[in-house]
Amino acid sequence: MAWTATATLCCRLIRLPSARRPPPSRARCFATQSPDAVDKEYADLNLRPLYTNRGQHLRIRQHVNPLSSSFSEPTEPPDWKEVFEDPLLPLMVDIGCGSGRFLIWHAKNSGQRRNYLGLEIREKLVERTQFWVNELGLRNIYFMFANATVSFEKIISSYPGPLSLVSILCPDPHFKKRHHKRRVLQPPLVDSITKNLCLGGQVLIQSDVLEVAADMRERFDGYSDILEHVDCVDKDLHCDNEGWLLDNPMGIRTEREIHAELEGATIYRRMYQKIRDASH
């Protein structure tokens, strides 16, 4: 699994009651040294049996090249009335959502106050997550097979409700300098996220690779007239001296986060909040 190579106000938007929050990451890391750690973390979703019963065995490519011609055209937005029960609810978008468990967990536990959209470039993952969503009967979550780098603007600008939260969690690092252009977070995507976020809307970035986290941070820090870095999510969760959040504010870890912490890695996280529109 190893890679080769301020507002207190904001916390109301995404923080869960402390009872649902995991203990500090480090403590957890050593408590769950098991290959089944992901299944354990998401045990209440009980997703694996659902797919096994269908008799499908999933063979998923480890990586795809987002710069290949097959991913160069933006994906068309869905008919939002078809995919969400209430398409006017605030929307959370998870970019590069992987297996989708993280977002499904939120959709199931949200009490329908928000819609959830996962964007993922590996089609088979999306087929499986959408199968899970249908089996669970959830009407506040949808997964799309899309290259988020080129499709985000077209998809999200058509959503009828407010964009309240965007997460980019442990994106593929593409370590080699000549491959940095394959990273999902490119300047037009940062621009589109910043523009489409509603006032008070938030961005959460995280990576277990410091260089990748710093790259994303530099891009969002460049919008400091519009986006404010959230130094303190609440009294229990603030940043270290370097400006990285000391713990996970989301109530559950992503799959990559679980594996990285099992390996003893540090997760670098940062949150932003939109404080004004660009035109002001």
Interaction of residue 148 with ligand SAM, rule CB under 6 A: yes
DSSP for residue 137: T
Total of chain residues touching ligand SAM, rule CB under 6 A: 20
* CB atoms closer than 10 angstroms to residue 199: 11
Interaction of residue 237 with ligand SAM, rule CB under 6 A: no
Closer to ligand SAM by Cβ: residue 172 or 228: 172
Contact at 8 Å (CB) between 206 and 170?
A: yes
Sign of the four-CA dihedral 234, 237, 243, 247 = negative
Instruction: Give CA–CA dist 191/197, Å, rounded.
Output: 10
Burial 43-74 (b: 16+ CB within 10 A, else e): eebebeeebeeeeeeeeeeeebebeeeebeee
Interaction of residue 119 with ligand SAM, rule CB under 6 A: yes
Choose the binding region for ligand SAM from 81-89, 107-115, 147-155, 268-276 (rule: CB under 6 A): 147-155
Residues in the chain: 280
Catalytic residues: 172
Q: How far is CA 69 from CA 64, 74, 147, in A?
A: 12, 11, 11
Between strands 268-274 and 227-229, the pairing is antiparallel
Pick the binder of ligand SAM from 115, 129, 149, 202 (CB under 6 A). 149
Query: What one-character-per-residue DSSP string does 32-43 give?
Result: --STTHHHHHTG
Closer to ligand SAM by Cβ: residue 119 or 216: 119
- Residue number of the CB closest to ligand SAM reads 96
Choose the binding region for ligand SAM from 7-15, 44-52, 142-150, 158-166 (rule: CB under 6 A): 142-150
Pick the binder of ligand SAM from 98, 118, 201, 251 (CB under 6 A). 98
Mark 25-44 with x for binding to ligand SAM (rule: CB under 6 A) and - for no binding. --------------------
- Least Å distance between CB 259 and ligand SAM? 8
Closer to ligand SAM by Cβ: residue 226 or 245: 245
Instruction: Give CA–CA dist 231/202, Å, rounded.
Output: 13
Q: How far is CA 66 from CA 1, 151, 185, in A?
A: 21, 12, 12
Interaction of residue 208 with ligand SAM, rule CB under 6 A: no
- Least Å distance between CB 124 and ligand SAM? 10
Pick the binder of ligand SAM from 10, 83, 117, 120 (CB under 6 A). 120
Mark 47-76 with x for binding to ligand SAM (rule: CB under 6 A) and - for no binding. -------------------x----------
Mark 169-198 with x for binding to ligand SAM (rule: CB under 6 A) and - for no binding. xxxx-----------x--------------
Query: Across the chain, where does the E strand assignment appear?
Result: 91-95, 115-120, 141-145, 163-169, 197-207, 227-229, 232-234, 237-238, 268-274
Contacting residues toward ligand SAM, per CB under 6 A: 66, 96-98, 119-122, 147-149, 169-172, 184, 254-257
